[in-house]
A and B are shown apart, each in its own frame.
Chain A
Amino acid sequence: MALKTDAVGKEWPGSTYQVGREKIKEYANALGIDNPVHFDVEAARAAGFRDVVAPPMFAVVYSSPAVAPAILDPEVELNFAAMVHGGQAFEWDEPACSGDEITTATKCLSIEEKDGKGFYVFETNSVNQDGAQVARGTWTLIVRGV
């Protein structure tokens, strides 16, 4: 069965995430990251950040909510039950700090079949309230038995 590729190039409008100190702390604690710039506003300001700063991989926290509607879009026809997260990339620019409002837009880059598996690649682009680029993500989702 040929994989449906109509959604390649489709874009989903931005969803906005408000970054908060407690959420950064919770994420850093889960990863065992102990740099005070993630916990203490004075330490963060002394290091030149506006406020408590997020570790780079906090990007998944503010950008995932923008990927969900793309994965679940009926036009994409992605079999969520047979999906695994096969690959992930991020490129970072402006750090994400508490108080930021980060808007992430999603685009379907490609849908391809390889060895009986479907490879769905989405791109996320996250910008902050000043319009500065925060992170760009590439999400490779693999669906078995397509």
Chain B
Amino acid sequence: MTLNAGDQIPELRVTPDKYLPHRYAGASGDFNPIHIDDEFAKAVGLPRNILHGLYSMGLVAKANAALADGNPRALKRLSVQMRGMGVPEQEIVVTGTVKSADGNRVVVDTVAAQGETTLIKNAEAELEL
């Protein structure tokens, strides 16, 4: 795949199901109750149990790795800011624009959003394709 500055990367759309935060908690070892206990989350002022920020970052990594057919060697660097809170059972859309392409080194600006809420912004991925 030849990429040029300004190109859009293929969009990634994922709807995490109700129990995704529990599976991600198990996979990652992060059992903070705000992610897996709806009652606890509401008691501390959240709308409901929320997604792990690092799960959303994982989706950003996945969307970028797709440019290299998922080759785990391709992603060299990923830097993100976590903003809005993600929730289960609502579609997440990851979009990206190629910022620069120099030979096989590509830098992509990526955003993850859920409806009007931005989950991940200023995400910069550097790939070796």
Contacts and interface: CB of A to CB of B under 8 A. Distances in A.
Interface string A25-48: 011011111110110000000010
B105 interface: no
A55 B71 CA distance: 9
Contacts of B72: 35, 37-38, 53-56, 95
A47 to B, nearest CB: 8
B28 A89 contact: no
A64 interface: yes
B47 interface: no
Interface stretch (B3-11, B49-57, B96-104, B108-116): B49-57
B75 to A, nearest CB: 5
Contacts of A35: 69-72
B29 A64 contact: yes
Interface residues of B, number: 31
Contacts of A87: 79-82
B20 interface: yes
Contacts of B14: 32
Contacts, number: 93
Given A85-B82, A87-B82, A31 B73 contact: no
Interface residues of A, number: 33
Contacts of B82: 84-88
Contact of B70 (A33, A61, A90, A91): A33
Contact of A64 (B20, B28, B70, B75): B28
17 contacts: A23-B27, A31-B24, A33-B62, A38-B72, A55-B61, A55-B62, A56-B75, A57-B54, A57-B58, A57-B61, A85-B53, A85-B82, A88-B54, A88-B57, A89-B78, A95-B72, A95-B73
Nearest to A23: B27
B57 A57 contact: yes
A92 B75 contact: yes
Nearest to A89: B79
B62 A64 contact: no
Given A32-B14, A88-B57, A89-B78, A61 B29 contact: yes
Given A60-B28, A89-B77, A30 B23 contact: yes
B18 interface: no
B65 interface: yes
